[in-house]
């Protein structure tokens, strides 16, 4: 069996796409399960997996000296998941397109409670291990490698590999114990093996491989275009029009480079997408036809029931409910929007609430829409029809009751914080956050929702814990990267990003300064002024620094020329 270094060499030197496909197949379970643990959502985990393997393709040459990629992939997954969760927290500002998310899968009932405690902290504990210890644990428990293969990968004997795995597992157990998660090494090993064996979505390996290789071909070997494409798919801060324009530019670039091997892969990928769209349209037509036929049959049964009642006969049983499919939910969701536009507010609210309560929770692909666009539409409807706001508050209160009743109901936590955001009742999130114990998983899930309220309340130390400096720095890097100059309207987009970067980073600088972390505050000031050294930017920074009690930092920090 070829080691990872050999597969990377074949991919970078010989353009062997089969070698890259083998890397994806070999490590997919490790990356996917780590992403699932850290994001708590199947669809978002797929986005993280795509970002990780795209990054692997970009950096393949520099990584070709590694005999095993397990450790690098785990670290890359951790950073990609942090970025995805941070983007979710700020989606109210940046979100420009719908997110399609699957409902989280659940672990086996026997280990449900243990896994619920372990999931939020496991990857932090793994990250705290030394590189070789982390590599050993990942290969053994996340990829189910035999000790002989682990030894070969780490240049040691089989017995030495077994001892390293056992010692590393004991280190993980001790690290978890410091976080309040206690277990024996044996029980921890069983639980890790059980979770690592969870099924990866069918066809995901082929999807990730095809998309990554297509992106490499479209990017034409440059990192700028691909980096921006990755930002578009994860950050979601550029408008839909710009996405379309970028897509057009990239397709044009692909046409110019069709002679290259990567362009051929992109062309094949586009063909597959077109075939998938045709298949999807066929399925939608079939679904509409079936619903129409079902409606006609229901109408006939209703007429027969009325005739039977008039004749004194026992009416037949009512018709079965229409199956809740993606197309059916989509039709009712769009119908609700049309009713709202037509001023039929009561009917629109009923349809919106059906989508929230019944339709979207039962269909994969609607998690993000349900927690963002749908809530936004109901809140907007409430401006003209107050019962809509009443209905939102009722569902918020129900979610709060479920949340308080169970520490394992992640859906309740998400509903509670999301509804409060669109009701603009952020204080409710903060109130509950303060009630929960320090190590409660619900508190961890709420920390992103309370960052701004904590800053507004000048609880800077708590806000700094909710969003660590590394996440703040990554936020700034995302905003300052911007689109390549070849993208249409690139100048206008960059200008918007310049303003947004200052406004968002100024909040983080206020938190750091208020919490007493002056070195990091100065570092962020230096970075943002190097990007935008305008008088407006300095005025915004000065306002936040004054509020934090450190107005002198702006003059202390070195300014970019």
Number of H helices, E strands in the chain: 30, 0
Higher pLDDT pick, 72 / 368:
72
Kindly indicate the confidence band of residue 447, based on its pLDDT and cuts at 50, 70 and 90: confident
- pLDDT over 70 for what percent of the chain? 64
Spatial distance between the Cα atoms of 512 and 417, rounded to a whole number of angstroms? 24
Kindly indicate the confidence band of residue 343, based on its pLDDT and cuts at 50, 70 and 90: very high
pLDDT > 70? residue 270: no
Tell me the torsion sign for CA atoms 5, 8, 14, 19: positive
pLDDT at 517: 93
**Mean pLDDT, the chain, whole residue set:** 74
pLDDT at 140: 81
CB-based burial label for 106 (10 Å; 0-12, 13-18, 19+): exposed
Spatial distance between the Cα atoms of 174 and 189, rounded to a whole number of angstroms? 13
Spatial distance between the Cα atoms of 444 and 51, rounded to a whole number of angstroms? 24
Spatial distance between the Cα atoms of 119 and 116, rounded to a whole number of angstroms? 6
Contact indicator for 367, 103 with CB cutoff of 8 Å: yes
Tell me the torsion sign for CA atoms 155, 159, 161, 163: negative
Considering only 183-197, 277-291, 354-368, which range has the smallest mean pLDDT? 277-291
pLDDT at 248: 43
Considering only 23-32, 136-145, 282-291, 355-364, which range has the smallest mean pLDDT? 282-291
Kindly indicate the confidence band of residue 550, based on its pLDDT and cuts at 50, 70 and 90: very high
Contact indicator for 460, 548 with CB cutoff of 8 Å: yes
Considering only 71-75, 91-95, 277-281, 498-502, which range has the smallest mean pLDDT? 91-95
pLDDT > 90? residue 298: no
Spatial distance between the Cα atoms of 141 and 189, rounded to a whole number of angstroms? 7
- DSSP 8-state assignment for residue 130: -
pLDDT in tens, 211-221: 666 655 544 44
DSSP 62-82: HHTT-S--HHHHHHHHHHHHH
Among residues 435, 431, 436, the alpha carbon closest in space to that of 450 is found at: 431
pLDDT at 519: 93
Among residues 351, 297, 302, 352, the alpha carbon closest in space to that of 322 is found at: 297
Q: Which two tokens stand for residue 218?
A: 């479209």
Q: Which two tokens stand for residue 506?
A: 């100024």
pLDDT > 70? residue 430: yes
Kindly indicate the confidence band of residue 307, based on its pLDDT and cuts at 50, 70 and 90: low
pTM score, whole prediction: 0.42
Kindly indicate the confidence band of residue 232, based on its pLDDT and cuts at 50, 70 and 90: very low
Q: What is the average pLDDT across 11-26? A: 85
pLDDT at 294: 57
Q: What is the average pLDDT across 454-480? A: 83
Torsion, Cα 136 138 142 147, to 10 degrees, reads -10
């Amino acid at each position: 069996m070829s080691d990872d270094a050999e597969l990377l060499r074949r991919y970078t030197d010989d353009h062997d796409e089969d070698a890259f496909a083998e890397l994806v197949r070999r490590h997919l379970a490790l990356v996917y399960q780590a992403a699932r643990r850290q994001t708590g959502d199947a669809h978002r985990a797929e986005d993280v997996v795509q970002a990780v393997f795209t990054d692997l393709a970009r950096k393949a040459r520099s990584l070709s000296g590694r005999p095993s990629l397990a450790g690098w992939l785990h670290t890359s997954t951790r950073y990609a998941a942090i970025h995805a969760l941070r983007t979710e927290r700020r989606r109210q500002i940046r979100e420009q397109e719908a997110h399609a998310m699957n409902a989280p899968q659940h672990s086996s009932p026997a280990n449900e409670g243990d896994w619920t405690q372990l999931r939020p902290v496991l990857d932090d504990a793994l990250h705290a291990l030394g590189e070789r210890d982390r590599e050993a644990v990942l290969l053994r428990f996340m990829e189910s490698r035999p000790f002989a293969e682990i030894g070969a990968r780490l240049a040691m004997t089989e017995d030495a590999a077994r001892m390293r795995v056992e010692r590393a597992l004991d280190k993980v157990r001790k690290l978890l114990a410091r976080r309040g998660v206690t277990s024996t090494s044996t029980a921890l090993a069983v639980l890790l093996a059980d979770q690592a064996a969870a099924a990866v979505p069918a066809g995901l390996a082929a999807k990730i491989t095809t998309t990554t290789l297509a992106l490499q071909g479209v990017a034409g070997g440059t990192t700028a275009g691909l980096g921006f494409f990755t930002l578009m798919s994860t950050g979601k801060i550029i408008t839909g029009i710009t996405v379309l324009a970028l897509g057009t530019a990239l397709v044009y670039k692909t046409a110019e480079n069709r002679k290259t091997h990567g362009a051929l892969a992109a062309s094949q990928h586009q063909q597959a997408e077109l075939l998938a769209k045709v298949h999807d349209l066929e399925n939608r037509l079939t679904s509409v036809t079936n619903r129409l036929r079902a409606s006609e049959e229901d109408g006939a049964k209703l007429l027969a029931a009325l005739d039977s009642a008039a004749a004194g006969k026992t009416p037949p049983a009512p018709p079965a409910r229409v199956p809740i499919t993606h197309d059916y939910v989509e039709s009712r969701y769009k119908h609700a929007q049309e009713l709202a536009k037509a001023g039929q507010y009561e009917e629109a609210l009923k349809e919106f609430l059906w989508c929230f309560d019944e339709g979207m929770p039962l269909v994969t692909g609607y998690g993000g829409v349900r927690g963002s666009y749908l809530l936004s539409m109901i809140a907007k409807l409430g401006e003209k029809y107050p019962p809509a706001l009443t209905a939102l508050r009722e569902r918020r209160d129900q979610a709060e009751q479920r949340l308080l009743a169970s520490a394992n109901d992640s859906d309740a936590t998400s509903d509670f914080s999301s509804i409060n955001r669109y009701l603009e009742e952020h204080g409710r999130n903060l109130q509950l956050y303060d009630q929960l114990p320090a190590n409660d998983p619900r508190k961890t899930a709420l920390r992103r929702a309370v960052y701004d309220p904590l800053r507004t309340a000048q609880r800077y130390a708590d806000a700094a814990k909710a969003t660590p400096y590394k996440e703040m720095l990554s936020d700034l890097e995302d905003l300052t990267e911007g689109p390549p100059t070849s993208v249409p309207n690139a100048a206008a987009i960059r200008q918007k990003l310049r303003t947004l970067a200052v406004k968002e980073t100024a909040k983080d600088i206020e938190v750091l300064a208020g919490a007493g972390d002056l070195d990091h505050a100065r570092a962020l000031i230096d970075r943002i002024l190097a990007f935008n050294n305008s008088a407006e930017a300095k005025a915004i920074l000065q306002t936040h620094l004054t509020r934090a009690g450190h107005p002198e930092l702006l003059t202390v920090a070195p300014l970019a020329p």
